[in-house]
Amino acid sequence: MIERFASTGLITDATTNPLFVSQAGLSGDARYVAFVDKAISYAKANADGDDAVLELAMDRLAVELGLEIVELVPGYVSTEVDIRASFDTAESLR
């Protein structure tokens, strides 16, 4: 969807959030499936224990989608943090 609107020149910036990340991951689109696979591989290799794999995979998936959007949108791309961290600066930065 972003690709379609960005190509018109009508949007200059974009924001994504954890819900959009989750929906993209479940869409079945081959591009997003590849992002999910890459995020899971990254998390398995870098998480601090088995309990942290899912959280790190979701964070990495947000990064992968953000990197894709940066290629489409000429302006700023913002990725929102999990709402549970929205008032916790240290957690948001982590």
CA distance 37 to 61: 9
Percent of the chain at pLDDT > 70 equals 99
Q: How far is CA 57 from CA 5, 47, 70, in A?
A: 28, 9, 20
Contact in structure between 47 and 56 (CB atoms under 8 Å): yes
For the stretch 1-53, pLDDT in tens is: 778 888 888 888 988 877 777 777 678 888 888 988 999 999 999 999 988 99
Contact in structure between 75 and 60 (CB atoms under 8 Å): no
Extract the tokens encoding 52.
């942290």
Q: What is the pTM of this model?
A: 0.75
